[in-house]
Every structure is written in structure tokens, then in C-alpha cells.
Amino acid sequence: MYEMKIRIFIFIICLTCARAKNCCQSCMLDLTFGVDLQTRDKLLKLARLDDTSTTTTSNINNECDIVTNAKNITSRLYNSRQLNNKFQNEEIKHLVDNGKLKEDLQSNLEKIINVDDEKKKILTLLKGLPLNGNLKYTPSDKSIKTLFIFGIPKSLSVPEIKDYFSKFGDVIIHSRNSFAFVEFTSRANAEKAATSVYKQHLNVNNKNSYNSPCLLIINRNPIRVAWSTSYPPRNYLETELIQIGKIINKQMIKLSKMDKRNGSITKSKIAKK
């Protein structure tokens, strides 16, 4: 990407002194003649000499030196300004004609907008899916009688899930590929199931409490269980289910690493389930 170059000026004298001397604060050159102050003062002094005065040989030599020096300085200033104008014109031409720079800026802006839109879509998809829920706290709303399970592998069928939870009471399984809602016919049965899974998780992990979705092993298939605040009555598109599945996989890995850090489940205990 094109980078603008910044020119830094160092001020040698203050603005008040510069105005008094009629010179630049940085280069100390006269603003009118474009020469250094010493040369300017000598030229002005020579200009004020009486025409009838006698000029010595040394004065003539000094005058020649001053004029030559003034010409050299003026020439350098002129060339410097010409070169500076050339660089400025090239920079302006580059900014105007460089279509790639404009395309890059537009592309970066579109990427930022697309990322924001993607985040909003993901938040909308995950609404009502308590991936960070738990079984420790029972919902105060007595009408809630549904558990949320996720991380369901393809090797675990819906009948197997229903068979496990049916021992706590009649259930309806609302399956959505990698996640499902286990709806009980009564709140008491839902609490029994939640308590059973929660205690089982605590026993396996040797913990007194657990504030994340609990691990449940059904026929050697690990899933996570949490209370569901509500069952979203909506159908997902296939592409949406795939996207949610990827997020659930990341969450399963995250929870597994967290359990390992906290000294959780051993392979031997899982194998016994």
C-alpha cells in the first residue's frame, strides 16, 4: 500500500525573531531575496554606499564574492524548489492514477463490513442455544422443562438419546443434527434428569460444583448437557446447521481443554460408563 512521506521541519529561531529579520525560521534565508542574512546585509550595505565614494580593491573583491555567493544560493534554491515540485506532482499523480490503491481501500472496507455482518448472523443463529449454560442452577421459571444437548456425533442416534432420557420420564427429542432439545412432559422429570447428569459429572471430575455444560457419555459418545431457557420453534437451513456445527465443535474442544486444566475426567472413568 502507498505510504505518505512526512516532512519534519526544525525551527532554529522563534517566529518573532524571524519576522524581525524577515527570514525563514528553519533555513534562515531572507524571504525576499532568498539568500542568507549575512549576504543580504552586505548587499544592502553596498547598495547604500555613496556613488562618489572610493572603493578599494578589497571592497571590490568582497563585492564580487558576495554576488557570486548570492547567485550560487539562488541557483540552489531554484533547483531545490523545482525538485520539490516534481516530487509533489509525482505523489499527486500516483494518488490520482493508482487504481490499485483505490481498489485495495475499497476491498479492505468491504472485508470489515462483511466481518461485522457475519458476526451478526452468527449471533442470530446462536440465539436460544445455551452453549455456555449449566445444570448447577435450576431455572426459576417452572414452565421450563427442556434440556439442551450438543456435540452429538453421527455415531449417536436419536433413539439412543431418547432411550437414555426416557428412564426419567416421557420425552420428546427435537433433533437438529449436532444439537437437540430434550423436552420432558413434566418439570419434575426434567429436574430428575438434570440432577442425575450433574451429579454424575461431579463424581467423575471429583468436583463440588460445575458451572459449564456437563459431560454425558451415552454408549461411549460424549455430549454436553445444560438447561434450556426456551425451545426455539424454528427450522434451520442446511447451511446454517453446518455453520452451527462448526461452532459447537469449537465449544466442545474448549470445554474439554478446560476440564483437563482443572484436573478432570480420566480415560478409565470414561471407559466404565
* CA 173/CA 147 separation, integer angstroms: 10
Domains recognised in the chain with CATH numbers: 15-47+62-100 (no CATH), 146-272 (3.30.70.330)
Under a CB-based contact definition with an 8 Å cutoff, are residues 213 and 224 in contact? yes
Q: What is the pLDDT of residue 205?
A: 75
- Grid cell, residue 4, equals 505518505
On the CB side of 140, CA atoms within 13 Å amount to 0
* CA 208/CA 194 separation, integer angstroms: 16
Please state, as a whole number, how many other Cβ atoms lie within 10 Å of the Cβ of residue 151: 24
Among candidate residues 148, 139, 188, 152, the one with its CA nearest the CA of residue 168? 188
* CA 79/CA 63 separation, integer angstroms: 24
Q: Which residues contact 212 (CB under 8 A, 6 or more apart)?
A: 132, 134, 255, 258
- Which contacts of 194-203 are long-range, i.e. CB under 8 A and separated by 24 or more positions? 194/135, 194/138, 194/147, 194/225, 194/227, 195/135, 196/168, 197/135, 197/225, 198/135, 198/136, 201/135
* 62-82 b/e (C-beta count within 10 Å ≥ 16 → b): eeeebeebbeebeeeeeeeee
Please state, as a whole number, how many other Cβ atoms lie within 10 Å of the Cβ of residue 149: 26
Which residues does residue 270 pair with via DSSP β-bridges, in sequence order? none
- Grid cell, residue 122, equals 452468527
Residue by residue, pLDDT tens for the chain (273 residues) are 445 555 666 777 888 888 888 888 888 888 877 788 888 888 777 766 544 444 455 555 565 666 566 656 656 655 566 656 655 665 555 555 555 656 666 666 566 555 556 667 677 777 778 888 999 999 988 889 999 999 999 999 999 999 999 999 999 999 888 999 999 999 999 999 999 999 998 888 777 888 889 999 999 999 999 998 766 556 778 888 888 889 999 999 999 898 888 765 544 344 344
- On whether the pTM is more than 0.95, the answer is no
Which residues does residue 168 pair with via DSSP β-bridges, in sequence order? none
